């Protein structure tokens, strides 16, 4: 039995190890907040690993060495006040120790004060709208994957279903306040590299912020099932230098004025 299972498991795992881009863990992201979230995740993960090792070791040890067939009898812990205090107090202390750094990061995530720029993100069925109130700029961002690829008439390109016509452009090293809302049903703005996900709800404006450290193209998706083309509204975010951002604003304004 075991002999036949091992090659099967190796077969399943082989493509995962062969693909270097396949990662087991969550992303560290490209902002200070996303790194803090990652570190928090790792710290809590190791707490869980230690608890898991202790609990399962005790359980396996008890199952093997204190089994009924060896003549052992079940212990009577019922209404043992000392044991109940201990197994309530220990998880309580662990949870409090985990919640203090987590709350600190959450409070930091909510602090949108002193931002350099505001971007309003509006979710639509099934595309995104981006508004830059300070720049007087607004536009829509639609999926740009050709229909022929979706209908399997031509081979799919490497950015299949994750490419858009007008990406959202954000300058790096600036604190950007992001206002998220929706025009029809609920959507959710999620770019994993930024380390947060914000619901886009009609009639509500949710606030968040980001400060990207590294230029690059970061991709995300709508993370709230919003209808039959939910998979067709990706987010493509271009993080650029302040000068490149200014250039892009100028270009977009010229395009808008020509229309
Ligand atoms: Cu959606």
The 3-class SS string of the chain reads CHHHHHHHHHHHHHHHHHCCCCCCCCCCCCEHHHHHHHHHHHHHHHHHHHHHHHHHHHHHHHHHHCCHHHCCCCCCCCCCHHHHHHHHHHHHHHHHHHHHHHHHHHHHHHCCCCCCEEEEEEEECCEEEEEECCCCEEEEECECCCHHHHCCCCCCCCCCCCCECCCEEEECCCCEEEEEEECCCCEEEEEHHHCEEEEECECCCEEEEECECCCEEEEEEECCCCCCCHHHCCEEEEEECHHHHHHHHHHHHHHHHHC
φ/ψ of residue 226, rounded to 5: -125, 15
Give me the pLDDT at residue 259, please. Answer: 61
Ligand 1 centroid to 230 CA: how many Å? 4
Ligand 1 centroid to 229 CA: how many Å? 7
Ligand 1 centroid to 98 CA: how many Å? 32
Ligand 1 centroid to 23 CA: how many Å? 24
Ligand 1 centroid to 202 CA: how many Å? 13
Domain 117-258 has CATH 2.60.40.420: yes
| pLDDT of 18 strictly over 70 | no
Ligand 1 centroid to 130 CA: how many Å? 16
Cβ atoms of residues 201 and 182 within 8 Å: yes
| pLDDT of 128 strictly over 60 | yes
Ligand 1 centroid to 67 CA: how many Å? 52
CA 130 → CA 166, 170, 212, distances in Å? 9, 11, 18
List, by residue range, all CATH 2.60.40.420 domains of the chain: 117-258
Q: How confident is the model at residue 12 (pLDDT cuts 50, 70, 90)?
A: very low
Ligand 1 centroid to 246 CA: how many Å? 30
Mean pLDDT of 156-171: 94
Ligand 1 centroid to 200 CA: how many Å? 10
Ligand 1 centroid to 78 CA: how many Å? 50
| Average predicted confidence (pLDDT) for the chain | 90
Ligand 1 centroid to 165 CA: how many Å? 18
Give me the pLDDT at residue 75, please. Answer: 78
List, by residue range, all CATH 1.10.287.90 domains of the chain: 25-110
Q: What is the per-residue pLDDT across 57-89, written as a single tens digit (0 to 9) for each?
A: 999 999 999 999 999 988 777 788 898 999 899
Q: What is the CATH number of domain 25-110?
A: 1.10.287.90
Neighbours of ion ligand 1 (CB under 5 A): 187, 222, 226, 230
| pLDDT of 11 strictly over 60 | no
Give me the pLDDT at residue 1, please. Answer: 44
Q: What is the per-residue pLDDT across 221-244, written as a single tens digit (0 to 9) for each?
A: 999 999 999 999 999 999 999 999
Ligand 1 centroid to 183 CA: how many Å? 12
Give me the pLDDT at residue 22, please. Answer: 64
Give me the pLDDT at residue 78, please. Answer: 78
The residue to which tokens 């230690």 are assigned: 50
Mean pLDDT of 40-54: 95
Mean pLDDT of 40-50: 94
């Amino acid at each position: 039995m075991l002999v036949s299972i091992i090659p099967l498991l190796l077969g399943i795992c082989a493509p995962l190890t062969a693909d270097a881009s396949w990662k087991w863990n969550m992303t560290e992201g490209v902002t200070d907040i996303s790194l803090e979230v990652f570190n928090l995740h790792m710290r809590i993960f190791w707490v869980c690993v230690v608890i898991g090792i202790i609990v399962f070791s005790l359980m396996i040890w008890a199952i093997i060495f204190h089994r009924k067939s060896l003549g052992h009898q079940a212990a009577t812990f019922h209404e043992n006040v000392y044991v109940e205090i201990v197994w309530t107090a220990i998880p309580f202390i662990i949870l409090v120790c985990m919640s203090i750094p987590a709350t600190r990061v959450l409070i930091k995530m909510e602090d949108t004060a002193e931002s350099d720029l505001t971007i309003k993100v509006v979710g639509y069925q099934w595309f995104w709208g981006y508004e830059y109130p300070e720049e007087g700029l607004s536009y829509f961002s639609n999926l740009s994957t050709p229909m022929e690829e979706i209908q399997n008439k031509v081979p799919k390109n490497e950015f299949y279903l994750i490419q858009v016509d007008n990406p959202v452009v954000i300058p790096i090293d600036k604190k950007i306040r992001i206002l998220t809302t929706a025009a029809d049903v609920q959507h959710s703005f999620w770019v994993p590299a930024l380390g947060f996900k914000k619901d886009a709800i009609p009639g509500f404006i949710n606030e968040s912020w980001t400060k990207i450290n590294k230029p690059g193209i970061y991709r995300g998706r709508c993370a709230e099932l919003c209808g039959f083309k939910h998979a067709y509204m990706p987010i493509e975010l271009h993080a650029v230098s302040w000068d490149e951002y200014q250039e892009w604003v100028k270009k977009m304004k010229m395009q808008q004025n020509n229309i």
